[in-house]
Amino acid sequence: MRSYVVCVVGPKRNVGKTTLVEGLVKNLTERGFHVGTVKHVHGTFDSPKKDTWKHIQAGALITGVITESESVTIWNKPPQTLEALLNKFPRNLDYVIVEGFRKMVHPKIIVADAAEDLENINLENLIAISGRIVEKPEELKKLDLDVPVVKINEGEKLVNLLESRAQTIFVNQLPGIDCKSCGYDSCEDLARAVSAGEADVRQCITLFTKVDLSIDGKNIVMKGFVQDLFKAVVMGVVKELKAVPEKIREIDLQIRLE
Ligand code: SF4
């Protein structure tokens, strides 16, 4: 499944980025979307006082922490880029909201107090501007940017903007194989229906697959009936195994040939 990644960026000081992220996550979750988040932190998350630090220093490739309410994984050699980290996220996320990473080209929402806060921010793919700057017309005028201006507590309005962007982006990625699994005769027909507000681009089960196949790191596109075939074969085998739960939500299968 594909996730729409959005960065919430602004100056380092307290301008309301986390409040905006909280509002987005809450509103997206209430609409039934699966949401993940990433927070860019300077320095180190672990610390020499912690046992996990000692485990890693001793040479563990990966260490985990489990409490009653959460689990955390720390890699010895962490993914060095946002993309590498996102590749380790579950594939069933509709949205990943990233707090930070102001230089990335991902779609972004800027949270700012004043026009000067936009210095050093990559302004490509800007979805909206938010923060206290919204209440300062003279600062907004200095920016001369043609993007929606949204208050920090207008989570629903922001989510509408995100959804509209996500639909447009994913429509442009429809595979063009006209497999009809979405109920439309062609990808173009689904694209037209999405533009008219009559369909959701996530109806394309080839793009938003429920069966993921990647070979040596390359995702393989499968038509709906091929996904059904894979699912039926794997389920047939799995159901014959001992200790398999009655109700199965997700199956991960990796085959190493070397
Ligand atoms: S399911 Fe996807 S690939 Fe198949 S026709 Fe619909 S839009 Fe095209």
For atom 8 of ligand 1, the residue with the nearest CA is 187
Which of 170, 187, 173 minimizes the C-alpha distance to 224?
Answer: 187
Judge whether residue 121 has pLDDT over 80.
yes
Contact 15, 117 (CB under 8 A): yes
Two tokens, residue 1: 């499944």
Mean of pLDDT over the chain: 90
Report CA(174)–ligand 1 centroid distance (Å).
Answer: 7
Q: Which of 171, 172, 173, 180 to mutate to test the pocket of ligand 1 (most atoms within 8 A of CB)?
A: 180
Through-space distance between the first and last CA atoms of the chain, rounded to whole angstroms: 27
Which of 90, 82, 34 minimizes the C-alpha distance to 212?
Answer: 90
Rounded distance, CA 47 to CA 45, Å? 7
For atom 7 of ligand 1, the residue with the nearest CA is 187
Which residue segments constitute the domains of the chain, with CATH numbers given?
4-42+81-171 (3.40.50.300), 175-258 (no CATH)
Report CA(202)–ligand 1 centroid distance (Å).
Answer: 10
Predicted confidence (pLDDT) per residue in 191-213, tens digit? 999 999 999 999 998 888 788 88
For atom 2 of ligand 1, the residue with the nearest CA is 204
Judge whether residue 79 has pLDDT over 80.
no
For atom 6 of ligand 1, the residue with the nearest CA is 182
Judge whether residue 78 has pLDDT over 80.
no
Predicted confidence (pLDDT) per residue in 209-253, tens digit? 788 888 887 778 788 888 889 988 998 898 888 888 888 888 888
Two tokens, residue 30: 């209430």
pLDDT, residue 59, reads 95
Judge whether residue 1 has pLDDT over 60.
no
Which of 121, 98, 103, 96 minimizes the C-alpha distance to 10?
Answer: 121
Two tokens, residue 220: 């393989």
Judge whether residue 81 has pLDDT over 90.
no
What are 71's strand-pairing partners?
66
- Residue 101 CB contacts under 8 Å (≥ 6 apart), including other chains: 7, 9, 40, 82
Q: How confident is the model at residue 4 (pLDDT cuts 50, 70, 90)?
A: very high
Judge whether residue 27 has pLDDT over 60.
yes
Pairing of the two strands 62-66 and 71-75: antiparallel
Task: Please give the full DSSP string across 25-38, using - where no structure is assigned.
Answer: HHHHHHTT--EEEE
Report CA(253)–ligand 1 centroid distance (Å).
Answer: 25
Predicted confidence (pLDDT) per residue in 147-190, tens digit? 999 999 999 999 999 999 999 999 999 989 898 888 999 999 99
Judge whether residue 122 has pLDDT over 90.
no
Q: Which atom of ligand 1 is nearest to the CA of 203?
A: 1
Residues having CB closer than 6 A to ligand 1 are 174-175, 177-182, 184, 186-187, 190, 204-207
- Provide the CA 203 distance to its chain's centre, in angstroms: 18
pLDDT, residue 95, reads 96
Rg of the chain in Å (alpha carbons): 22
Which of 168, 178, 20, 198 minimizes the C-alpha distance to 100?
Answer: 20
pLDDT, residue 139, reads 93
Q: 249 — phi, psi (to 5°)?
A: -100, -35
Which of 38, 83, 60 minimizes the C-alpha distance to 217?
Answer: 83
